[in-house]
Amino acid sequence: MKTKAAKLSLLLLVASSLYAEFDYEGQVRLRYESFDNMNEKYYGTNPKVGEAHDSYLMTRVQLGLIYNFNDNWSAKVSMQDARVIDWGFKSSDWYNREFGQVNSTQTDFFELGKTYLEYKNANVTVTAGRQSISYGDLRAFGPGEWKNSGKWIWDAIKVSLKEGENFLDFFYGATMLHDPDDFSLNHRHGYHGAGVYGHYVYKKGAALEPILAYKINDKKNEVYNSLEGYYAGARAYDKDLYNFFYDMTYIKSFGDYTKVTNESVSIDGVGYHVEGGYSFKEINTKVGAAYSYASGDNPNTQANENFDAVFGASDKYYGRLNLMQWQNIKDYELFSVFIPNPQTNIKIEYHKFYAQQQSNKWLSYEISSMQNDHYGDEIDIFATYNYSKNIDLLFGVGYFISGGYIKEAMSKNSYITDENAFGLVAQFTYSF
């Protein structure tokens, strides 16, 4: 009896020890979206694919298990399920000509999520496996998690060197593609790429961030034969300069692009963002103005001047209706942020959008010989509320007023009309 009791005690001791080393995390996100006279691919009342008046519920469930081997080593395994109920699209509508397969950033059923092995000490972190890679304001490197399944998920190795608030990160890997009907380990990656991102704090609330990146797709496809792009730039910001603030990012792209005709041309693009304003601290409000620019391809030159946003997220920067991205754009913006209490944030934005090159692609359209460059104007009001430690709420509305570009385009493409567009979003997030 004593032997059996001793064995049972030892078993319970081992089990409790193992249990103590495990941790878990998860998130349930529900978002209702309703759009009028637009969808993710087309604009107006006569879309070629999808619905012109589309209302649906997006669900995303993430569950993760973390095991801590010791103070330095840990491992994580997670799953994600992302669905859209009563959506106007089907999976095949998201066939991607560049990758030769479906790539839907909204749906991914029972998919492997962030899963990696990590080593960490006071100054060095090494992460190997499936992970999210994001830096700064997410403009150059961001997960794009406003999209239901996420835009950029990496199978990569990342090394982070840290000293105080300063860090320098290096990573190399490949981007995951999202086919809801096929597990990601059974099909190819999208881009292979690498990056370097630094963060140097030169005063409280202010930093300089150097940016380097590399992107390649050497698999011949319906869009091009090969793409090899390089990016170099920097971000600088100061959140409080005598109550003023500024945030600036500049990135130059270069490399080689081989067309389907086998003609090789150089890449020569540029993207930048500048914003600044003033904080009225006594009323917890700041107001500012911003300008975002991304070059498009000039048909009168041999080079390819398209700037393609690196690996960045565009979910919340170029209008909340997501009609625009950091590609072939000139975006003039006025904004105001009001924080009535620590739990609530309200932002009002006004955007005036122009094409940098009128005949480049917009949404799913590519219309030649366009003369007008004014896409239109957009007004957005979005509010977030931190209800508790685990629950966050969001509500937003956006209204887009069609400009001269759209009015001209409707005479050349029957799948575009010039009605104004409206969008409404309500989101509930529970994290644990």
Average pLDDT over residues 259-282: 97
Average pLDDT over residues 205-217: 98
Is 48 a domain residue?
yes
Write the DSSP string, 141-156: B---TTSSS-S--EEE
Residues ≥6 apart with Cβ < 8 Å to 112 = 78, 79, 80, 130, 183, 184, 185
Measure the CA–CA gap between 152 and 133, rounded to whole angstroms. 8
Is 93 a domain residue?
yes
Task: Reply yes or no on whether the pLDDT at 18 is more than 80.
Answer: no
- Report yes or no: 246 and 275 within 8 Å, Cβ to Cβ: yes
Is 248 a domain residue?
no
Task: Look up the domain containing 65 and give its range.
Answer: 21-178
Task: Reply yes or no on whether the pLDDT at 314 is more than 70.
Answer: yes
Is 67 a domain residue?
yes
pLDDT digits (tens, 9 = 90+) for 320-355: 999 999 999 999 999 999 999 999 999 999 999 999
- Structure pTM? 0.91
Is 63 a domain residue?
yes
Strand ranges inside 166-280, DSSP E: 166-175, 192-203, 206-217, 226-241, 244-258, 264-280
Is 208 a domain residue?
no
Measure the CA–CA gap between 211 and 419, rounded to whole angstroms. 40
User: DSSP 3-state assignment of 78?
Assistant: strand
Is 211 a domain residue?
no
Query: How many structural domains does the chain have?
Result: 1
Measure the CA–CA gap between 139 and 271, rounded to whole angstroms. 10
Task: Reply yes or no on whether the pLDDT at 11 is more than 70.
Answer: no
The model's confidence at residue 316, banded by pLDDT at 50, 70 and 90, is confident
Please name the residue that has the structure tokens 């860090």: 167
Lowest mean pLDDT: which of 42-46, 76-80, 362-366? 362-366
Measure the CA–CA gap between 322 and 292, rounded to whole angstroms. 15
- Report yes or no: 333 and 320 within 8 Å, Cβ to Cβ: no
The model's confidence at residue 9, banded by pLDDT at 50, 70 and 90, is low
Distances (CA, A) of 176 to 103, 179, 184, 322: 9, 10, 7, 22
Is 184 a domain residue?
no
Residues ≥6 apart with Cβ < 8 Å to 344 = 383, 384, 385, 386
What is the structure's pLDDT at 10?
54
Q: What is the mean pLDDT of the chain?
A: 94
What is the structure's pLDDT at 315?
79
What is the structure's pLDDT at 344?
98
Sign of torsion over alpha carbons 27, 84, 142, 273: negative
- Report yes or no: 345 and 339 within 8 Å, Cβ to Cβ: yes
- Report yes or no: 139 and 147 within 8 Å, Cβ to Cβ: no
pLDDT digits (tens, 9 = 90+) for 95-134: 999 999 999 989 999 999 999 999 999 999 999 999 999 9
